[in-house]
């Protein structure tokens, strides 16, 4: 009998074809892999299974008569940035954060905003900050110099185009000038404003300090507290503009985090400052209609040694959430049964199948501890003597993708590549700097869009995927590893606690897609170092590496029943 062991994961579906004859070991014929279509366990996921079976059958020249499935529970993974939905009152201070890489001058100054065209006639008896629109820099510089000669007190300049240094060189190189200010038309002429340009390599200091900002904008002391949001928003920028507006309280309407209800009836906010409880302790989550098995959440990782970056990440209040739900509708089975000519059989739980598959790793014998790290869950199976425990925890590779995507500002599919492959910084068209600080020389130039960018390496065509992120490769590498540590290793710790601990000195075999990631394997090994385990990567049937453990395991378990 030809059978197809099928593992429908949250990210990947695997099909193992094998020939079974009663009383004989299975003849394993092939393993085929593809992306899961639709959500795991739904009728939509059947299409991916059937496509893979069709592909494998054509290659073999024979169609299986029986599909072997595991008992499935899907995981929903998402990420929510709570700050994105918040209405932040800047306490009567308007701000602009120009992205210009080349402002001119250094320092902070305050004055009244005025159009360049208005710098005529008798000068105003107060400092002014002219606004220069999209005009030629020589024309602008001539007008500004004429105004200075006439007695206007120019303390800073705001420029719409990329002409800050050009104008500074022709007027006063010391004068703070911010350029590439996109919305100069919206700056209220006549309003009191402050401009700051930090020295090269530094960030604004005065505008980022609520008291100094209040002094520059001549706000009374009661409004200084209200300026804190504006000051915080300018933190970490090389240049900034702050404009005094009508007084307001500086309060913030923050989007509220979802509440998780725990088994004891208490609630816990799913926020960046809270940690998820133990496995199975969440029974309900606001806005999620599902029969929960487990829930896990994680904030963006902290940037060690970089307070400004840590603050930037924290201010987004981004929380990745993974929810493992019980699925009793048998939708995948039914969909397969309707479309497949043969039988569809549910053989065992996923963890039991993973143990059977992992145990085919050469040298493993019977694997007493199997850790299956997939897209949706980290599953722990312990089978030592009478001690037989299986724990499935929500949150694995897909949640790492979400967190990595949020850090880099890219979609989860691209983040999946960024998670797996090392990054480089393209210093020049011919020089790449790697995550460990080493450099390599290219024989043909890197594409222009990659120059001075963080790039993902190891695309199939050998090209570099340039990211907009301004992170250095070594910083990104640390954040990426921290995400893997928090989610995969952290979740594994939860599973171990739920399983009642692990015996010291035993063999633990890692399987699943995440076990192909050397960084995850090393993070897991570090996290479990105190348990003194022999941690090894699975090599299913000695030829599939850590993949296909469940699909092969289903075949093995079913063979035992014949």
Q: Which two tokens stand for residue 458?
A: 């190891």
Assess 449 for contact with other proteins (CB under 8 A).
yes
Q: Which two tokens stand for residue 67?
A: 């599909």
The one segment of 375-383, 423-431, 479-487, 491-499 that binds other proteins by CB under 8 A: 423-431
Q: Which residues fall within 8 angstroms of residue 51, CB to CB, at 6 or more apart?
A: 34, 37
CB of 195 to other proteins, least distance (A): 18
Assess 437 for contact with other proteins (CB under 8 A).
no
Q: How many other C-beta atoms are found inside a 10 Å radius of the C-beta of residue 464? A: 21
Assess 275 for contact with other proteins (CB under 8 A).
no
CB of 382 to other proteins, least distance (A): 51
Nearer to other proteins, 163 or 435 (CB): 163
- Cα pseudo-dihedral 469, 474, 477, 483, rounded to 10: -80
Which residue from 25, 199, 249, 445 is in contact with other proteins, where contact means CB under 8 A? Answer: 445
Cα dist from 5 to 26, 243, 274, 562, whole Å: 12, 66, 40, 15
Nearer to other proteins, 307 or 452 (CB): 452
CB of 71 to other proteins, least distance (A): 50
Assess 162 for contact with other proteins (CB under 8 A).
yes
CB of 198 to other proteins, least distance (A): 16
Widest Cα–Cα separation across the chain: 105
Which residue from 345, 346, 451, 507 is in contact with other proteins, where contact means CB under 8 A? Answer: 451
Which residue from 452, 518, 534, 562 is in contact with other proteins, where contact means CB under 8 A? Answer: 452
Assess 173 for contact with other proteins (CB under 8 A).
no
- Could you give the CA distance from residue 265 to residue 269 in angstroms, rounded to a whole number? 13
Binding map of other proteins across residues 69-88, x = CB under 8 A, - = no contact: --------------------
In the numeric block, the tokens 């306490």 are attached to 91
Residues of this chain, 116-145, that bind other proteins according to CB under 8 A:
137
CB of 146 to other proteins, least distance (A): 21
CB of 354 to other proteins, least distance (A): 45
CB of 442 to other proteins, least distance (A): 9
CB of 457 to other proteins, least distance (A): 18
Q: Which of 314, 342, 348, 306 is nearest to 470 (CA)?
A: 306
Task: Concatenate the DSSP letters of all residues of 174-215 into one string.
Answer: TS-EE---TTGGGS-TT-EEEEEEPPTT---SSTTSHHHHHH
- Could you give the CA distance from residue 79 to residue 405 in angstroms, rounded to a whole number? 10
Q: What Rg, from alpha-carbon coordinates, does the chain have?
A: 30
How many residues in the shown chain lie near other proteins by CB under 8 A? Answer: 21
Alpha helix segments (H runs only) across 153-253: 164-171, 210-216, 221-224, 228-234
Q: 318, 78 in Cβ contact below 8 A?
A: no
Assess 163 for contact with other proteins (CB under 8 A).
yes
Nearer to other proteins, 64 or 103 (CB): 103
Task: Show the CA angle centred on residue 383, arms to residues 381 and 384, nearest 5°.
Answer: 145
- Could you give the CA distance from residue 515 to residue 538 in angstroms, rounded to a whole number? 8
CB of 241 to other proteins, least distance (A): 19
- Could you give the CA distance from residue 291 to residue 486 in angstroms, rounded to a whole number? 25
Nearer to other proteins, 128 or 143 (CB): 143
Assess 429 for contact with other proteins (CB under 8 A).
yes
- Could you give the CA distance from residue 135 to residue 258 in angstroms, rounded to a whole number? 50
The one segment of 118-126, 159-167, 255-263, 398-406 that binds other proteins by CB under 8 A: 159-167
Chain residues in the site for other proteins (CB under 8 A):
101-102, 137, 162-166, 169, 427-430, 444-445, 447-449, 451-453
């Amino acid at each position: 009998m030809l059978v197809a062991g099928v593992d429908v994961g949250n990210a990947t579906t695997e099909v193992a074809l094998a020939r079974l004859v009663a009383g004989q070991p299975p003849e394993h014929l092939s393993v085929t892999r593809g992306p899961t279509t639709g959500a795991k366990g739904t009728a939509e996921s059947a299409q991916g299974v059937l496509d893979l079976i069709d592909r494998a059958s054509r290659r073999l020249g024979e169609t299986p008569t029986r599909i072997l499935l595991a008992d499935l529970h899907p995981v929903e993974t998402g990420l929510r940035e709570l700050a994105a939905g918040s209405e932040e009152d800047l306490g009567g201070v308007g701000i602009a954060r120009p992205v210009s890489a080349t402002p001119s001058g250094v320092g902070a100054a305050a004055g009244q905003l005025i159009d360049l065209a208005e710098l005529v006639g008798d000068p105003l008896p107060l400092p002014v900050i002219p606004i220069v629109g999209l005009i030629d820099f020589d024309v602008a510089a001539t007008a500004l110099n004429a105004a200075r000669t006439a007695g206007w007190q120019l303390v800073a300049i705001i420029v719409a185009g990329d002409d800050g240094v050009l104008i500074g060189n022709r007027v006063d190189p010391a004068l703070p000038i911010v350029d590439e200010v996109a919305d100069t038309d919206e700056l209220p002429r006549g309003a009191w404003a402050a401009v700051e340009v930090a020295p090269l390599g530094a960030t604004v200091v005065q505008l980022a300090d609520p008291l100094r900002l209040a002094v520059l904008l001549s706000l009374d002391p009661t409004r200084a507290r209200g300026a804190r949001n504006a000051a915080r928003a300018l933190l970490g920028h090389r240049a900034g503009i702050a404009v005094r507006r009508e007084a307001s309280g500086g309060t913030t309407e923050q989007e509220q985090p979802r509440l998780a209800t725990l088994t004891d009836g208490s609630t816990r906010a799913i926020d960046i400052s809270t940690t998820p409880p133990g496995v199975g302790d969440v029974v309900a989550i606001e806005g999620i209609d599902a029969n929960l098995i487990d829930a896990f959440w994680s904030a963006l990782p902290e940037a060690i040694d970089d307070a400004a970056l840590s603050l930037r990440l924290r201010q987004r209040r981004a929380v990745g959430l993974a929810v493992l739900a019980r699925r009793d509708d048998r939708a995948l089975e039914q969909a397969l049964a309707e479309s497949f000519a043969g039988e569809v059989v549910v053989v065992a739980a996923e963890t039991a199948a993973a143990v059977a598959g992992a145990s085919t790793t050469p040298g493993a014998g019977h694997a007493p501890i199997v850790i299956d790290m997939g897209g949706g869950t980290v599953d722990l199976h312990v089978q030592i003597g009478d001690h037989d425990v299986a724990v499935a925890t929500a949150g694995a590779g897909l949640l790492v993708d979400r967190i990595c995507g949020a850090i880099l500002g890219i979609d989860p599919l691209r983040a999946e590549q960024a998670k797996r492959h090392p990054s480089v910084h393209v210093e020049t068209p011919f020089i790449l700097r790697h995550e460990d600080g080493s450099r390599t020389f290219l024989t043909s130039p890197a594409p222009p869009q990659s120059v001075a960018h963080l790039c993902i390496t190891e695309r199939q065509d050998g090209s570099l995927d340039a990211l907009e992120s301004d992170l250095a490769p070594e910083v990104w590498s640390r954040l990426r590893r921290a995400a893997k540590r928090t989610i995969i290793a952290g979740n594994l710790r939860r599973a171990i606690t739920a399983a009642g601990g692990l015996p010291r000195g035993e063999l633990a075999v890692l399987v699943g897609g995440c076990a192909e990631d050397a960084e995850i394997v090393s993070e897991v090994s570090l996290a479990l170092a105190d348990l003194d385990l022999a941690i090894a990567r699975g090599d299913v049937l000695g030829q599939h590496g850590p993949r296909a453990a469940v699909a092969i395991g289903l075949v093995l378990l079913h063979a035992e029943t014949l």
